[in-house]
Amino acid sequence: MRKTVVAMTMAAVLGAAVIAAPAASGAPPVSPRSSEVTPPDNLPNPLEDKRSALRQTAIARVLGLPLPALGLTAFAVLGALALFRGERARVGHLVVGAAGSVVAASLIYTQIRMGVFCKYCLVADAAALLVLAGAALRVARSWDPPPEVGARVGLGAAMAAAIVAPLGIGFAAVPARPPLPAVIAAEIARTPKGQVTVIDFVDFECPFCRMTHAEVAPLVAEHRSQVRLVRKQVPLSMHPHAMDAARAACCGEALGEGDVMADALFTAAVDDLTRDGCEKIAAALGLDPARYRACVADPKTDEKIRADTDEFHASHGRGLPTIWIGDESIEGARDGSVYAAAMERALASR
């Protein structure tokens, strides 16, 4: 009986972890537009939302796979090992549990270091530590699941239900698409009929914005006659050169070289995005030095940047990069195929 209780307890822990793991990325696991979910209105500062930063760290994806998916796989393996009898199964259970706990501990440390905590991540990480404790106790006391095949089949079915049930609920509970923010709808309305509106909220010093530009620029160039590209300046306070680069971008646009200036700013070394560095970039592009300097010093340039930032807030932006392709929002640096698919949908719906 005691062995059955231990096995069932471990199955319950597995179930809790499986429920939490898909949400560990901080977004609905099955929604193709998870970044479009409107955040709470009481977020203190959507621009520097650290939860968005957590989702954009290197640990969010391992070998190109989302970390929650790898977590699900690891918990499934642990659950399967719990159903086998014998010393090898017990030791294997302990080894896999120890590896999972190392990962869990490192993820908890990362959240502490960043000063932001994802409740779903913490549940999954705590479950991994509990699984290790159970596996260690199993090895120490030579516990095995009941020898009866029927009992083990029942436990396996319970674990399978713990996986299938939350995933089924997730697929059935895809959130309704929120209304299009008024500022985005207004910008789309300015686009000539037959063209797709692309709205890019940018910070030229943001490394993820630079990654996004490298993916999106060729896509826009490919469909140039069918796309109206609008850049909105959102210089983050954490980036010391972002404001100078934003002024340079605005002035490049005002002087008729917006796209060329944006490309130059995105590809320049970050240390070159100072006021003097941006002026050198403008000169290299052939912009009139006097008109450029006058534009940079003009208070209206900063007013435009503030207006762009206000629009970012009004559009419920949570972090950068954020880009709208048609009426679809994509947040965070993504693979080029994500932007290409969004562009195809937007072109098809014109």
Reading the chain (350 residues) residue by residue, the pLDDT tens digits are 445 444 544 544 454 444 344 444 433 333 333 333 333 333 334 434 455 555 555 566 666 677 778 888 888 888 888 888 999 989 888 998 888 898 888 888 887 877 777 787 888 889 889 989 999 999 999 988 888 888 888 888 887 887 777 777 766 766 667 899 999 999 999 999 999 999 999 999 999 999 999 999 999 999 999 999 999 999 999 999 999 999 999 999 999 999 999 999 999 999 999 999 999 999 999 999 999 999 999 999 999 999 999 999 999 998 899 999 999 999 989 999 999 999 999 999 98
Nearest alpha-carbon partner for 321 in 68, 56, 60:
56
Q: Where are the domains of the chain?
A: 2-172, 182-348
Four-CA torsion 142, 143, 146, 152, nearest 10 degrees: -110
* Alpha carbons 158 and 163: distance in angstroms, whole number: 9
Indicate the pairing of strand 65-66 with strand 328-331.
Answer: unpaired
Sheet holding 328-331, edge to edge: 227-233, 196-202, 322-325, 328-331
CATH of the domain spanning 2-172, picked from 1.10.3470, 1.10.1660, 1.20.1440, 3.40.630: 1.20.1440
Query: What is the phi/psi pair of residue 321, to 5°?
Result: -75, 150
CATH topology of domain 182-348: Glutaredoxin (3.40.30)
How do 196-202 and 227-233 pair as beta strands? Answer: parallel
Residues in the chain: 350
Give 137's contacts (C-beta < 8 A, 6+ positions apart). 6, 143
Structure tokens at 276: 């003097």
Q: State in Å, rounded, how far the first CA of the chain is from the last one.
A: 65
Q: Where are the alpha helices (DSSP H) in the chain?
A: 2-20, 50-55, 67-81, 87-114, 119-141, 149-172, 182-189, 207-222, 242-254, 258-267, 275-284, 289-297, 299-314, 336-348
